[in-house]
Chains A and B, each alone.
Chain A
Amino acid sequence: KQEVTQIPAALSVPEGENLVLNCSFTDSAIYNLQWFRQDPGKGLTSLLLIQSSQREQTSGRLNASLDKSSGRSTLYIAASQPGDSATYLCAVRSGTYKYIFGTGTRLKVLA
């Protein structure tokens, strides 16, 4: 059974800092992995999707990497801004269409 864990559960950083969020999964036989951001009281916004054959994806200040063999993904945020404050969720799709979500990392970027 696939399990997804995110560390840390919460993180506070000063504005401008580069930071890394971690996601680990127990079954390496995945189809893809997505990173989402969730703002309070709102739904999820997809940030990056990495197919199982890919090693990383980049969008603006965001870079997500995938290491299937070790069951890990990282989301790198460069030059963090207060507007980046949100909960970041990773979700793994394991062969079927079903996604298994982690419990998220609550990020606060201090001005």
Chain B
Amino acid sequence: GAGVSQSPSNKVTEKGKDVELRCDPISGHTALYWYRQRLGQGLEFLIYFQGNSAPDKSGLPSDRFSAERTGESVSTLTIQRTQQEDSAVYLCASSQGVVVDTQYFGPGTRLTVL
């Protein structure tokens, strides 16, 4: 079956521009996570969506970062006024829920801010 997909796979942008990253979770998965992985570092939690509950935004590094999710489907991570330190791979994962929470990851979006 289809796994988690992310688009674009690569994004190069200029400092100060806005970017939008997309995640399509596995159908039926109520939980969705966004992570950031800087070069040579571990995954950094950004935001979590669970069903129709209010998202946990506690990992978002600044107010330039925002994310939305439409119901239990696609999610979009938006970074406004990008900075060079935003360069990283942005990974999305989904799971069936909070109890059965084996996470399935997408291939990531590699963002480069020049």
Contacts and interface: CB of A to CB of B under 8 A. Distances in A.
Interface of A: 4, 32, 34, 36, 41-46, 49, 89, 91, 93, 96-104
Given A34-B102, A103-B42, A98 B107 contact: no
Interface of B: 4, 31, 33, 35, 40-45, 48, 50, 56, 59, 91, 93, 98, 101-108
Nearest to A6: B42
B103 A34 contact: yes
Given A101-B43, A104-B42, 13 more contacts: A32-B101, A41-B107, A43-B91, A44-B105, A46-B102, A49-B102, A91-B43, A97-B31, A97-B50, A98-B48, A99-B33, A99-B45, A102-B42
A44 B42 contact: no
Contacts of B102: 34, 46, 49
A36 B108 CA distance: 15
Contacts of B50: 97
A104 B104 CA distance: 18
B56 A46 contact: no
Contacts of A100: 45
Contacts of A41: 107
B42 A97 contact: no
Contacts of B35: 101
